[in-house]
Structure 1
Amino acid sequence: MAEVTEGQEVIARVRLTRRPQTAIDVSFESAVPLELAATSVPLRFTAANWNQPQSVSLRSLQDNVRDGDSIVPVRMTTAVAGKPKVQAVRNIWVESDDSAVTGPATPVTATLRGSVFGGGNRGTVAGVFDNATNQGTLTLTLTMPKVRNIRARIITAHYTVDALSGRVVVDRVEGIRASTFRLDATYREVENNRGLFGTVTVLEPQLGQSAIATMTAAALPEAVQNLAVAPTDVGSLLLSWNPPVGGATGYTVTINNGTTTTTSTTTSTSMSFTGLPATVPSYSFTVTASNAAGSGPVATVSFATPEDVASQPLALSVTVGPASGEAVLTWQPPADDGGSDVLSYTVTLYQGKRQQTVTTAATSATFSGLVSGDVPLLFRMRATTFAGNGLPVSLAAANDGTPLPLPPNNPFMGLDGTSTMHANASSSDATIFSGPGTTDLQVKKNLLLNATVPSVLMSENGALVCVGVGTTISTAQTPIVMLISPKTLRRLDYVTLIRPQTGNLAGGLYNYLDHENRLVLVNGDGILQWYSNTYDPVSDTGSLTLVKSVNIGQPMVVGLVPDYEGRIWFATQGSLSTTDAPAVVGYYDPQTQATQTYNLPAGEMVANSISSSPAGVAVATTKGLALFAAGENGAIARLWYQEYQNSGVRKPGQLSPGTGSTPVFFGPTTGYEYLVITDNATAPDTNNVTPAENVNVYSVADGTLVAQTPFLTQSNAGTENAPIAVGNRIFVPSSFGYWYPPPSETGPATPSSAPF
């Protein structure tokens, strides 16, 4: 017989006496887990290790009660591996010696469950014990074959526990004569288990009959405490709790997403869940504590998924220094967290060809190793919540920290300078990224695309996302979306769009990358589409995927831009004829999934892209410039309209008989106080042959023409390019005489040709 003192452990060594033909599992189970714990993991013996001793732990548990020594049976089961019914069972006996250590009980009302066994007797035990009053009740269902009439006999014992010794004193008994019933037991608290342990004796003096059996009645665990759930990352939640009063040996956890319940078990007091879609309205959780006696009450908690991602962080400010080559960016939390706490901020600094990224839970980030000289800084950041990465915000500054007068970044568009043809939503064509400079360039790689590619964009993963028009016989005038490696210029994937109804360049060519790095365009059939890409810079592979489509019912879209509230605005081409369907300005609202339109005057054509700023959306037609916005009820309002000088003819190097400019927002203070276009004037008395275009600057507030100046000279004053504008400076290139593919032009040129 093994012997072990409370609070200590004895290690028994076990081996087989002969080599088995098949693997044998040997397991151990204590009959009184409140007194003695045995190793729960079975020992496996094979033909290779049958005579090599393995260890089993027999641990006497400290119960803080003076209750004397106990002899505890430990059930040893030997079974053929994989065939648990082929087994042999025997008891080994372990003496658990009382340590005489006492201690206070944990205040709790316990629900007790257990059994009666030994000597051919059997039964179940259920009851309660309140150790605040040291009183309780036990109901035993007993079968004792050696005592007459004890067959599934129900006996209820009301008892009191002595506070010092833990001994049970029976106050009264129901279901049997008190003189024939004896309960010798003690109340114990052992690590994560509590309950009664002892013996039950039933006497039948007249017949000389009696029976004694071992009784254990362990307490079911209470409910876990302080159950809580909190987000830790995008789509990730941490469920945590404190153990119940009196402890537990394990926990059963469930998560329900409204349709499916998943169950897990753990011995920890927390559990992480990842990959949870924010599209599920809520997640509900349950945690149930368990021990040797069974499972306790269920505790519940739920997490309502946030309605949206966080809005932009506020009040960005940069300080250069104090250390050399160092800059510190500070900000305030978003005004709207979308319904979930901000977990972190991700800030990227772009400077020249270098970029640094910092992720922090603070509201400041420090960057070091800045390039010296006149190399501007661009900070771009988002707040991250359970719902995902929030709307981005950017701050452009000179290398001394002075903010640059660029238009404010559109939170629904990708990185300024790489996400749209004209650099940003305001079409300023000004960016902190440097151009090729004035030095000689050497072409190191080229790729024949068989396409004219006016739209070359770069997503934040580095991939080139390009939209062009095929130039082969089979693809002529057909727009193509291409994913191109920035390392090898290899075309990784492509999608052929629908050829427009008429032979111009409309249908997907004006497009942009949104804040989720998806290419947004309108196909030639009037379907608004979003394309994601899976480019991996490590493997230099990737593909394009159409992730969303919406029919806006406008097949000839030539301009596309988001406004600063997330609506996607578009303009259709229209016609110069007053009898044809007019051009349309409209928007699709992803929040309401509604489309609104506004008919432009008949005979006015839109031949360029459109631009947005916090003030509204600017659209230039072949006759005038207008600013639009969405009203409170969603209807489109034309805030103002100004006609410009127009000869009514198409100059060589222009696509239409009107302005060749996409309207450009700019300004020295807000970055969008003004709009600039070129008009389509000609010199007086020259029969519309001699160009004499003007650069026109309008006040965004009311459309007033605040400045006008002639553009270049009368020999080359024509352009199909948008002005480049930043602060109080405007740059306008000439495209007079440039040759475009004939299908893209509207009518003959006057004069018919000119040198470029």
Structure 2
Amino acid sequence: MPTRSKKTRTLALVAALAAVLGTAGPARAAAPPANPHLAAGGAGAMHGDTASSDTTPRPGPGTGRVAAHRTALQSACPTVLAGSDGYPVAVCTGIFDRAPHVHLLDPATGASLTELKLAKSGVLGGIYSYLDERDRLVVADGSGDLLRIAHVRTAGGGWELKVVERTPLTGAVAAGDSVVGLSPDWRGRVWFATAHGLVGTVDTTTKAVRTADLGEAVANSLSTAPEGAAVATDHALYLLRAGADGTPRVVWRRAYDRGPARKPGQLSHGTGATPTFFGPRTGSEYLAITDNAAPQENLIVVATKDNRTVCRIPVLDPNGSGTENSPVGAGNSVYVASTYGYPYPAVPDGAGPAEPASAPFGGGLTRVDLDRDGSGCTVRWDARIRSAAVPKLSVADGMLYTVERTGVLDPARTGILDRYDFLAVDAETGRVANRSRLGTGFLFDTLQMAGNATPGRVWWQGTVTGVVRIAPQ
């Protein structure tokens, strides 16, 4: 039997034994399923992997002193990816032209080595992109095409971002609609979801596009695992699989409490979460989302196979909670960060008014552990952390990495002069193990964006004006 198969079986056995003994923590979590069509290294997608686990196999900057360097790109950069070659690729939206810009960054300094401007699309266009197994960016642009973009050396020794594949989606995606999420499946097909609720697959070799209309809006990305593709609309969570011809088919649908309206600190009416596959045995036996119940939202965990309810448990502040972030899932543990009251400078068209219209940003980070037999769950800890980024768990060092935003006079009263600190949070206890100042003021606003780790314990974090490179000093 090949060595890789032996290793996989051994890790699965260790994870199962840990779960039985009740000691399954982040360091013992089963790794998310390794998608063969995603770049290696744990930073090929915004949420790290196609399961959207928001975990990384790499250690982060740790608990010692760090050095942070901001690269100004005149763009908001919610997506910073990296493949097997270690070169970060940032997908940003220009502050002035509102168009997507792709930057290849220097791994050592964070400087932009080259840039490619794409056709302008919707508010979320280009954000949920990924790197394929050859480190090529897969992204949908405003022209209605699905692109693969490679970074290649030029004759003069520099770098170039080059479109090497283009697949039209205009025949499938109607005018006025836009792609909001992309993820590959295990056959190499590209799954996509649109703002108006169209879900589809693309075979970029044959150019075949197959779609199904869910009839409900989608505001976040979709996740893929061997069991299928998970999509959360503004009404329900779906598991889908492709038929023989590639057409998406609904395996099951789970409605959730979408609440009376959009909450302050959320960008849509409904869940703000991309679905998270996780689990202690296969890394994908469970699915987690948050609902939009008022005043306190719930974490919902279901069995991927049959939609069985594992738990529905209130999380975060009982007087007003909500999140725009995907839960972190590892082993038997899920981590949920509050974005309730976060001062987004703008919301997408059609998002509707928030109720209440505004609220202080008090933050909150909760760990929920599943029972060993998968029959329920309990809150392990609550931490009053005002997370201004999508937390990500390093299973290598047991730390949750995020950025905290603190008001000048009142920690929960946000303004343009707020302080931003990079945090390492002990995933076992919820205690802040390290705090390092990134900067003060609007330039450092991380706007609930996700970071990613690369070799050398380097952390890459997008901001509203560029990218920050954080590394041990």
Max radius of gyration: which structure?
A: 1
Residue number among 593, 603, 609 corresponding to 2:207 in the alignment? 593
The aligned counterpart of 2:231 is 619
Q: Deviations over 1:237-258 (max 9, x none)?
A: xxxxxxxxxxxxxxxxxxxxxx
Offset of 1:752 from its aligned partner? 1.1
Matched residues in 2 for 1:318 and 1:586: separation? Answer: 31
Separation (CA, whole Å) in 2 of partners of 1:713 and 1:535: 51
Does structure 2 conserve the Cα–Cα contact (< 8 Å) formed by 1:506 and 1:524?
Answer: no
Alignment partners' CA distance in 1, 2:94 and 2:307: 39
1:672-711 equivalence runs, <5 A: 672-682=284-294, 691-711=295-315
**1:560 to 1:459, Cα distance in 2 relative to 1, 3 A:** same
CA distance in 1, matches of 2:265, 2:3: 44
| Matched position secondary structure for 2:183 | strand
Equivalent position to 1:519, from 137, 150, 160: 137
- Are the counterparts in 2 of residues 498 and 507 from structure 1 also a CA contact under 8 Å? no
Given the two structures, how large is their TM-score scaled by the length of structure 2? 0.68
Please give the per-residue CA displacement for 1:342-394, whole angstroms capped at 9, x wherever unaligned.
xxxxxxxxxxxxxxxxxxxxxxxxxxxxxxxxxxxxxxxxxxxxxxxxxxxxx
Pairing 1:457-606 to 2, within 5 Å after superposition:
457-472=81-96, 475=97, 477-500=98-121, 504-534=122-152, 541-553=158-170, 554=173, 556-574=178-196, 583-601=197-215, 604-606=216-218
User: Which of 421, 427, 437 is residue 52 of structure 2 equivalent to?
Assistant: 427
Amino acid at match of 1:470: G
**Taking structure 1 as reference, are residues 533 and 313 closer, same or farther at Cα in structure 2, changes over 3 Å only?**
farther
Alignment of 1:60-209 (within 5 A): none
Q: How many residues align?
A: 338
- TM-superposition CA deviations, 1:689-723 (whole Å, max 9, x none): xx310000011111122211111112452100000
Greater shift, 460-469 or 712-721, is seen at 712-721
Shift of 1:535: 5.5
Q: 2:44 aligned with 1:408, yes or no? A: no
Instruction: Indicate if the aligned counterparts of 1:421 and 1:455 stay in contact, CA closer than 8 A.
Output: yes
Work out which of the residue numbers 717, 726, 733 in structure 1 matches 2:330.
726
Contact 2:151 2:160 in 1 (8 A): yes
How big is each residue's C-alpha offset from its partner over 1:532-585, in whole Å with a ceiling of 9 and x where there is no partner?
00269xx984220110100012250001000111110000001xxxxxxxx200
For residues 159-193 of structure 1, what are the alpha-carbon distances to aligned partners after superposition, in whole Å with 9 as ceiling and x for unaligned? Answer: xxxxxxxxxxxxxxxxxxxxxxxxxxxxxxxxxxx
Following the alignment from structure 1 to structure 2, what is the Cα–Cα distance between the partners of residues 591 and 613? 21
Deviations 1:199-234 (A, max 9, x none): xxxxxxxxxxxxxxxxxxxxxxxxxxxxxxxxxxxx
Rounded Cα–Cα distance in structure 1 between residues aligned with 2:276 and 2:108: 33
Which residue in 2 is equivalent to 1:744? 348
Q: State the TM-score, normalizing by the size of structure 1.
A: 0.43
In the TM superposition, what is the alpha-carbon distance from 1:442 to its structure 2 partner?
3.2
- Preserved contact between residue 719 and residue 734 of structure 1 (Cα < 8 Å): yes
Q: Secondary structure at the match of 1:317?
A: helix
Aligned: 1:754 with 2:359: yes
Q: Rate the CA distance shift 1:486–1:535 in 2: closer, same or farther, 3 A.
A: farther
In structure 1, list runs of 5 or more residues that go unmatched: 1-311, 321-328, 330-401, 575-582, 683-690
Rounded to whole Å, the distance in 2 between the matches of 1:726 and 1:478 is 35
Q: Conserved in 2, the CA contact under 8 Å of 1:629 and 1:639?
A: yes
Q: Aligned-pair distance for 1:744?
A: 3.0
Give me the identity figure in percent.
Answer: 41
Q: In structure 1, what is the Cα distance between the partners aligned to 2:204 and 2:333?
A: 36
Following TM superposition, by how much is the alpha carbon of 1:439 offset from its aligned partner in structure 2, in angstroms?
4.3
Residue 525 of structure 1 and its aligned partner are, at CA, apart by 2.3
Change (3 A) 1:480 1:615: same
- Give SS of 2:71's match: coil
Q: Give the secondary-structure state (helix, strand or coil) at the position aligned to 1:742.
A: coil
Alignment RMSD:
2.4
Confirm whether residue 454 of structure 1 aligns to residue 78 of structure 2.
yes
- After superposition, the C-alpha distances for 1:575-608 in whole angstroms (9 at most, x for unaligned) are xxxxxxxx2000101344311000112xx21000
User: In structure 2, do the counterparts of structure 1 residues 319 and 428 end up closer, same or farther at CA, with 3 Å as the change threshold?
Assistant: closer
Q: Contact 1:648–1:658 (CA<8 Å) still a contact in 2?
A: no
Structure richer in strand, relative to its length:
1
The answer on 1:317 being equivalent to 2:37 is: no
Cα 1:630–1:749 change in 2 (3 A) is same
- Alpha-carbon separation, structure 2, partners of 1:654 and 1:738: 8
Per-residue deviation, residues 587-632 of structure 1 (Å, max 9, x unmatched)? 101344311000112xx21000100000000000000000111112
Q: CA–CA distance in 1 between the matches of 2:180 and 2:141? A: 10
Instruction: State the partner residue of 1:275.
Output: none
Question: 1:426: Cα distance to partner?
Answer: 0.4
Task: For 1:439 and 1:505, locate their aligned partners in 2 and report how far apart those are by CA, in whole Å.
Answer: 38
- Residue 641 (structure 1) aligned with residue 253 (structure 2): yes
Q: Which residues of structure 2 form unaligned runs of 5+?
A: 12-26, 362-473
Q: Which amino acid aligns with 1:507?
A: G
Structure-2 change in CA distance of 1:318 and 1:588 (3 Å): closer
Distance 1:743 1:647, change over 3 A: closer
Question: What secondary structure, in the 3-state scheme, does the structure 1 residue paired with 2:49 have?
Answer: coil
Distance in 1 separating the partners of 2:288 and 2:153: 37
How has the CA–CA distance of structure 1 residues 318 and 642 changed in structure 2, closer, same or farther, with 3 Å as cutoff?
Answer: closer
SS in 1 for 2:180: strand
C-alpha distance in 1, partners of 2:357/2:117? 34
2:317 alignment counterpart: 713
Question: Alignment partner of 1:744: what SS?
Answer: coil
Residue aligned with 1:671, SS: coil
* Higher relative contact order structure (alpha carbons within 8 Å, sequence separation ≥ 6): 2
With over 3 angstroms needed to count, the CA separation of the structure-2 counterparts of 1:426 and 1:318, relative to structure 1, is closer
Alpha-carbon distance in 2 for matches of 1:695, 1:319: 30
Alpha-carbon offset, residue 437 of structure 1: 3.5
**Shift of residue 478, structure 1, vs aligned partner:** 1.4
Alignment-derived partner of residue 11 in structure 1: none
The Cα shift of 1:446 comes to: 2.1
1:631 matches 2:243: yes
1:430 CA drift (Å): 1.1
Render the CA deviation track for 1:42-62: whole Å, top value 9, x for unaligned: xxxxxxxxxxxxxxxxxxxxx
Question: Where does residue 43 of structure 2 map in the other structure?
Answer: 418
Q: 1:596 to 1:317 in 2, by over 3 A?
A: same
Asked whether the 8 Å contact 1:497–1:523 carries over to 2, the reply is yes
More helix by share: 2
